[in-house]
Amino acid sequence: MNYFPDEVIEHIFDYVVSHRDRNALSLVCKSWYRIERCTRQRVFIGNCYSVTPERLFQRFPGLKSLTLKGKPHFADFSLVPYGWGGYVYPWIEALAKSRVGLEELRLKRMVVTDESLELLSRSFTHFKSLVLVSCEGFSTDGLAAIAANCRYLRELDLQENEVEDHKGQWLSCFPDSCTSLVSLNFACLKGEVSLGALERLVARSPNLKSLKLNRSVPLDALQRIMMRAPQLADLGIGSFVQDPESEAYIKLKSTILKCKSITSLSGLLEVAPHCLATIYPICPNLTSLNLSYAAGIQGSDLIKLIRHCVKLQRLWIMDCIGDKGLGVVAKTCTDLQELRVFPSVPFGNPVAVTEKGLVAISMGCPKLHSLLYFCHQMTNAALITVAKNCPNFIRFRLCILDATKPDPDTMQPLDEGFGAIVQSCRRLRRLSLSGQLTDQVFLYIGMYAEKLEMLSIAFAGDSDKGMLYVLNGCKKLRKLEIRDCPFGDMALLTDVGKYETMRSLWMSSCEVTVGACKLLAKKMPRLNVEIFNENEQEDCSLEDGQRVEKMYLYRTVAGKRRDAPEYVWTL
Amino acid sequence: MAKEDLGLEITELRLGLPDTEHVSVANKNGEKKNKRVFSEIDGVGDENSSSGGGDRKMESKNQVVGWPPVCSYRKKNSVNEASKMYVKVSMDGAPFLRKMDLGLHKGYSDLAFALEKLFGCYGMVEALKNAENSEHVPIYEDKDGDWMLVGDVPWEMFMESCKRLRIMKRADAKGFGLQPKGSLKGFIESVGK
């Protein structure tokens, strides 16, 4: 390869797209490093504090697309106090100054302010795509700036963000000249939007393929929108309530028949069960169905709908579907690859799912590779059966609502069941455990889970050995998050070098002490070891012997961060 | 609002065992004995819970922070609209009314805490236990239009029949024997409010 001129190598590199492969290319030799960095357009940064923005664009001047993640995963479950960090503003400011031609920004679990959005909208003329997932800190004013200033905007995708509604007409801020939209998702917004502006926007966006509406968009508006956009492939319905005798309802029935290209359906944030029948004609074409926010649909109606969805590959639903319903899924959706079953709020719905539903799915859906399953109970026998039927799992996340519940049939811990999963599923990359578990399960994980990259543990294990099995055995481990387990200083300090091979480690309510964390921080200068001291009354000096309530450590070349709040101590 | 008097600690989210201090102790084997077992935090194994009995068990269950691991956006947005039961709540002397979702509450004591928080008034919990001695009296209008004393019927029955709530001043019911079971309809009409 070294006999080829640079242009030829560049051309070959164009075909190498994945981040991992690109990273590998850059390590081969100096000239490949140089060529790779100049041609790289997409960069993924899994921890925004691992590197500085300056270093990023110095290495990749051709940067067009940036993905950033901020807070640790357990922030989703209220374990990270307010104000921890993850601010995007410094990134946008630095990139704006650097004159990088940013076109795409994807953020997860970051704090995004209206100022950041305004700066973003004004700094990059060719900005095309903004994706915000589980972010907070902004309002509809920030969205108005994006709509108004990004002339070539193709994608505005807001997923599960906390957005303040300032009642401005942000949607009306898209100028008449904006005709480039391909994807618009505002399902998470609570406020009303101008329906007229929405309809006009859809009418002048011939490339619009994905549209996800919020609760405030009523059924009659939906019908008009669908009329204007028969090319839609991905639809999120807001409100689906209408009198079946009404004209709007009758019109909708015929409009839906024209929308042959819809393959992905979500939303139904407000729904009257009798309206569901209008969707049946679309169902046979669906490959993706997300009804996890459709709290108004009862199990029986859900089952009726799913009977029509023969091509489904991805299904997200709530546990009101029940074990019987999962049996129907297993018979109907034989191509199913990804399944998520969420618990109904308030938790502890007596009509929920158990191991029986999962076993049925495993028998009917051999292609299943991703699972998130909230259930009331699980047995070893069921897990062993599932492991045999579905050896292709990449993601296996099981959450038993009673976190330390043993196998109800044998009263044994679930070590053997999960052991079977890791032994059978050699491609497993992500695993979440629950139920009663001893150190034994970690022995299995260390032995068999060779490709495991992310592991989530709660209320499990007996001793430091458990954590050590994992740290020693899982060579590809990148993220480890642990809560309420009896792992302490010995486990933390046995192999300190390991943490530089990982993105991050979270430990909360474990047995780790301040002294051990200090020692770790001292030995490993390229780790930021943060402990959260939430006790305002306590005297500020931390005694070495004191137990640490929450610790988050991550590798970094950026050094200690300067935006940490009072309660975060970087050792 | 002083927290101590209201006993709101019971509803406070905690990471540790209720009513115990966390002490780090290692036993002879080096195993940590104070591993917090989920069911203990859950309140199921908590034999020492004093007053409040059954309701307290219900309240502390499901209150381990961050479990089950459902992200907060999803928790807030997965509630079934149909199960929401908003009723108007008025309090004598307050210039405006409030609305509250009965469906969010698991029982009378839960409701009492919520009322105290809503209006910043003390004594709701006491009022439920002992109508004679409290400063305020919670009453509700049922489906028949009668005004009833809160607390007589089972919670589920109350939820179904309650159309609105009123927190009345005990002083206004002076001279009226507040037997635990009785309708206040006649009283309301006579006062002519």
Q: Examine the pLDDT at B22 and tell me if it is beyond 70.
A: no
Instruction: Tell me what percent of the residues of chain A surpass a pLDDT of 70.
Output: 97
Q: What is the pLDDT of residue A200?
A: 96
Give the pLDDT confidence of A333-372 residue by residue, as tens digits. Answer: 999 999 999 998 666 566 689 999 999 999 999 999 999 9
Interface-testing mutation among A78, A292, A353, A464, with chain B (most B C-beta atoms within 10 A): A78
pLDDT of B177 > 70? The answer is: no
pLDDT over 70 at B126, yes or no? no
pLDDT in tens, A71-89: 999 999 989 988 999 999 9
Going by pLDDT thresholds of 50, 70 and 90, the confidence category of residue B43 is: very low
Rounded average pLDDT over A269-277:
87
The three-class DSSP label of residue A526 is coil
* Pairing verdict, β B86-91 and A568-570: unpaired
For residue B40, pLDDT over 70 is answered with no
In terms of Cα–Cα distance, which of B116, B141, B142, B143 is closest to B127? B116
User: Are the Cβ atoms of B66 and A77 closer than 8 angstroms?
Assistant: yes
Is residue A463 classed exposed, middle or buried when 0-12, 13-18 and 19+ CB atoms within 10 A define those classes?
buried
Residue type, B130: N
Model confidence at A563, pLDDT cuts 50, 70, 90, reads very high
- Within 8 A by CB and 6+ apart from A213, the residues are A186, A187, A222, A225, A236, A237, A238, A267
Tokens 């819970």 -> residue: B49
| Mean pLDDT, range A401-423, rounded to an integer | 96
Distance CA B102, CA B114 (A): 10
> Angle A548-A552-A553 (CA atoms, 0-180°, nearest 5)?
120
Q: Residue B63: what pLDDT?
A: 56
Q: Say what the pLDDT of residue A494 is.
A: 95
Show the tokens assigned to A99: 């004159």
pLDDT score recorded for residue B119: 75
Find the mean pLDDT for residues B156-162: 87
- Residue B132 is predicted with a pLDDT of 60
Ranges A19-23, A120-124, B118-122, most confident: A120-124
Task: Give yes or no for residue B70 having a pLDDT over 80.
Answer: yes
* Residue B187: band (very low, low, confident or very high) from pLDDT cuts 50, 70, 90: very low
Query: What pLDDT sits at residue A417?
Result: 97
> How many beta-carbon contacts under 8 Å exist across A and B?
101
Of A197-206, A436-445, A508-517, B78-87, the range with the lowest mean pLDDT is B78-87
Token pair of A68 as six digits: 């950033």
Check whether B74 has a pLDDT greater than 50: yes
ipTM of the complex: 0.90
DSSP A330-376: HHH-TT--EEEEEPPSSS--SS---HHHHHHHHHH-TT--EEEEEES
pLDDT at B58 over 60: no
Tokens of A481: 């998050």
* pLDDT number for residue A360: 97
Instruction: Indicate whether A156 pLDDT > 90.
Output: yes
B189: pLDDT strictly greater than 80: no
Instruction: Please say whether the beta carbons of A125 and A99 come within 8 A.
Output: no
Chain B residues whose C-beta is within 8 A of a chain A C-beta are: 15, 22, 24, 30-32, 35-39, 42, 61-62, 64-75, 77-82
C-alpha count within 13 angstroms, C-beta hemisphere, residue A315: 32
Q: Are B149 and B180 within 8 A, CB to CB?
A: yes
Confidence band (pLDDT; 50, 70, 90) for A4?
A: confident
Of A16 and A330, the one with more pLDDT? A330
SS3 content of chain B, % helix, strand, coil (to 5): 35, 15, 50
- Chain B residues in contact with A509 by the CB 8 A cut-off are 15, 36
- Cα–Cα dist A452/B60, whole Å: 35
Looking at the DSSP bridge assignments, the partners of residue A454 are: A430, A479
- What span, in angstroms and rounded, lies between the C-alpha atoms of A287 and A345? 27
**Top-confidence range, A332-341, B50-59, B80-89, B147-156:** A332-341
Q: How far is B79 from chain A (nearest CA, A)?
A: 6
* Amino acid B131: pLDDT: 57
Q: Mean pLDDT over residues A451-459, rounded?
A: 97
Report chain A's mean pLDDT, rounded to a whole number. Answer: 93
The upper half-sphere exposure of residue A355, i.e. CA atoms within 13 Å in the direction of its Cβ, equals 19
b (16+ CB within 10 A) / e for B18-57: beeeeeeeeeeeeebebbbbbbbbbbeebeeeeebeebbe
Residue A264, pLDDT above cutoff 70: yes
Tell me whether residue A129 is exposed, middle or buried, using C-beta atoms within 10 angstroms of its C-beta: 0 to 12, 13 to 18, 19 or more: buried
Give contacts of B81 with chain A, Cβ < 8 Å. Answer: 270, 295-296
Return the higher-pLDDT residue of A440 and B37. A440
B100 CB contacts (<8 Å, ≥6 apart)? B86, B87, B89, B114, B115, B118, B165
Q: Closest-CA residue in chain B for A268?
A: B78
- Taken in order A189, A190, A191, A197, the sign of the CA dihedral is positive
CB atoms within 10 A of CB B160: 13
pLDDT of residue A208: 97
**pLDDT reading at B92 higher than 50:** yes
Interface probe, candidates A71, A73, A77, chain B, greatest B C-beta count within 10 A: A77
- pLDDT score, position A130: 98
| pLDDT at site B32 | 41
In tens, the pLDDT along A230-262 reads 999 999 999 998 887 788 888 998 999 888 899
pLDDT tier, A534 (very low <50, low <70, confident <90, very high otherwise)? confident
Question: Which of B13, B17, B71 would you mutate first to test chain A, the one with the most A CBs within 10 A?
Answer: B71
Neighbours of A20 (CB within 10 A): 9
The whole-angstrom distance between B134's CA and the closest CA on chain A is 33
B56 or A142: which leads in pLDDT = A142
Backbone angles phi, psi at A350, to 5 degrees: -65, -25
CA A305: distance to chain centroid?
26
Q: Is residue B180's pLDDT more than 60?
A: no
Cis amide linkage into residue B68, ω under 30° from 0: yes
Q: What percent of chain B has pLDDT over 90?
A: 7
On the CB side of A173, how many CA atoms lie within 13 Å of its CA?
18
Is the CB of residue A94 less than 8 Å from the CB of residue A134? Answer: no
Averaged pLDDT, B59-87: 75
In Å, how far are A80, A310, A482, A505, A553 from A532, measured between CA atoms? 9, 49, 15, 14, 11
Report the DSSP beta bridge partners of residue A267.
Answer: A237
What integer best gives the mean pLDDT of chain B?
64
Report the pLDDT averaged over residues A130-152: 96
pLDDT for residue B7 is more than 60: no
d(CA A233, CA B76) in angstroms, rounded, equals 28
A108 DSSP β-pair partners: A69, A133
> Given an 8 Å threshold on Cβ–Cβ distance, is A292 in contact with B78?
yes
The reported pLDDT for the residue numbered A1 is 55
Quote the pLDDT of residue B3: 40
Q: Is the pLDDT of residue A109 over 90?
A: yes
> Measuring CA to CA, which residue among A152, A143, A218 is closest to residue A185?
A143
Band (A285; pLDDT cuts 50, 70, 90):
very high
